[in-house]
Structure 1
């Protein structure tokens, strides 16, 4: 039972006449009769009986019509959807990113994309770097944006930008007048840190170990914005990523560069060998780095 047969059957049921169905479909009456005979032969059912007033639908035809209506409109919607895909005006993109980038940066990128492609559905997920890479590798999502911490062989990677580690502190802190914070400045401070699995935390520990220093830390958190909130509440000072600094520049905190410099690459993950649709390509091409630290920060 093909689309043309469904269309012919529906036209006959809607009009109650083979002649009128031919007019609706803009084909000849014999073509409608032939299509109907082929359909009845294929289904092994008699769908219409002839009367003195024309044709009458059988009970089987009425039951079939209920299902055909649902299927027919579904096929029309599918055709419109496919047409939209050809025009790159309709579709769905699933993206996962680390929480640090999902608060402000990625929503801004989505807003730019949606302005150009308003009918595209974009589904955003927040996950750690390992989970983002895993989901892309398994083909469950289209794109992952995360720290470069995956060795999965079936992923392609493109560096988007780097986030810098910066020191966050209250505006009146004794170190706030310094333009650059060095490792030795943290020796007497209580440091609110990111979680042990975070790349900034790992590199901070390496920097302090290299200087022969240990920091005093009693609190850690998985999100840079949470670290900033803890610092604003008086729990100490800490190192966060530059995107968290950008988001929190109006919270009474100041942010200063740290030496040695800590930079972590942010990478776009895609499944290797998976054909990319035009929408995914367009979205990927539109991704721009956030402002560099020092441009519009507190």
Structure 2
């Protein structure tokens, strides 16, 4: 068995078929089919059911795919580690950060990190917590910022920041003068929220669900500036991190009792982390507030 054959099979599964995989790999489809057939002959099992219009893995194929992903991750980690020993790369950190924290918390940290380590490349992917978790699990990201609530058992985590979640309304809104708002009151208002999968929304909806409340969501987006602009126009209530409410046309209202979210940085347990990624995690630990 060769790693090339493993890579071919993974690309077929991820691409949904032989045609797209052949294009991605830059080889002919017949050559790809022959390589996979040789792999199956060597193993003595059928990995892909070719009778279906869309490819489907056999039971043996599903077991092989799981192991193949682990082999691929170990291979990539080994290559990166050897490159570091040979000094062939300056290093890159691939991190996922939700939009609000990326805009209002991390710019100063990134500037500090760049000043300390000017030769390291930092690639930031902005997405919701669910997407960030999936990208870390697949190996597409080294680490990411998510809520510390109910983390899967395959991650390691470290605290980053605790921040208050507040209700946010237009400065001219009838609720703007309230010193605090209960979740019961929030449930009676039309809500402008982040899309599902963002940890700040999850924290609010989970807190409401714990009280038997159902949010009246009338608008959702994953764009922080758009959410703010819609809220500033009036007619509804949004929820934001307090640090994000800076505009004079918006008013932040604490919840009663206060509602907080604990953001943590996570990475895949037992996965290889490059020297650059380890350096960034150590930097975050030293920068905790």
TM-score (norm 2): 0.60
8 Å Cα contact 1:92-1:122 kept in structure 2: yes
Partner of 2:180: 180
Question: For this pair of structures, how many residues does the alignment match?
Answer: 206
Structure 2 residue 113 is the aligned partner of structure 1 residue 130: no
Deviation for aligned residue 1:262:
2.4
Partner of 1:170: 170
Where in structure 2 are the equivalents of 1:89-128 lying within 5 Å? 90-128=90-128
CA deviation vs aligned residue, 1:130-162 (integer Å, no higher than 9, x gap): 222222223332221122467544321112122
8 Å Cα contact 2:128-2:199 kept in structure 1: no
Q: How far apart are the structure 1 equivalents of 2:241 and 2:272?
A: 33
CA deviation vs aligned residue, 1:102-135 (integer Å, no higher than 9, x gap): 2232232111111111121111112221222222
Q: How far apart are the structure 2 equivalents of 1:79 and 1:155?
A: 25
Q: How far apart are the structure 1 equivalents of 2:271 and 2:183?
A: 45
Q: How far apart are the structure 1 equivalents of 2:179 and 2:265?
A: 32
Q: Identify the match of residue 281 of structure 1 among 275, 278, 281.
A: 278
Q: Identify the match of residue 265 of structure 1 among 258, 262, 267.
A: 262
Q: 1:225 to 1:92 in 2, by over 3 A?
A: same
Structure 2 residue 232 is the aligned partner of structure 1 residue 254: no
Deviation for aligned residue 1:207:
4.3
Partner of 2:142: 142
Deviation for aligned residue 1:217:
3.8
TM-score (norm 1): 0.58
Structure 2 residue 227 is the aligned partner of structure 1 residue 227: yes
SS at match of 2:177: coil
Q: How far apart are the structure 2 equivalents of 1:285 and 1:220?
A: 35
Partner of 2:68: none
Q: 1:168 to 1:82 in 2, by over 3 A?
A: same
Greater RCO, 1 or 2 (C-alpha within 8 Å, sep 6+): 2
Q: 1:289 to 1:192 in 2, by over 3 A?
A: farther
Q: How far apart are the structure 2 equivalents of 1:193 and 1:117?
A: 37
CA RMSD of aligned residues (A): 3.2
Q: How far apart are the structure 2 equivalents of 1:195 and 1:79?
A: 40
Structure 2 residue 161 is the aligned partner of structure 1 residue 161: yes
Partner of 2:13: none
8 Å Cα contact 2:130-2:198 kept in structure 1: no
Unaligned runs of 5+ in 2: 1-81
**Greater Rg, structure 1 or structure 2?**
1
Partner of 1:23: none
SS at match of 1:178: coil
SS at match of 1:261: strand
Deviation for aligned residue 1:81:
9.7
Where in structure 2 are the equivalents of 1:22-37 lying within 5 Å? none
Q: How far apart are the structure 2 equivalents of 1:210 and 1:275?
A: 38
SS at match of 1:282: helix
Q: 1:138 to 1:188 in 2, by over 3 A?
A: closer
CA deviation vs aligned residue, 1:60-99 (integer Å, no higher than 9, x gap): xxxxxxxxxxxxxxxxxx99995597xxxx3221111122
8 Å Cα contact 2:171-2:249 kept in structure 1: yes
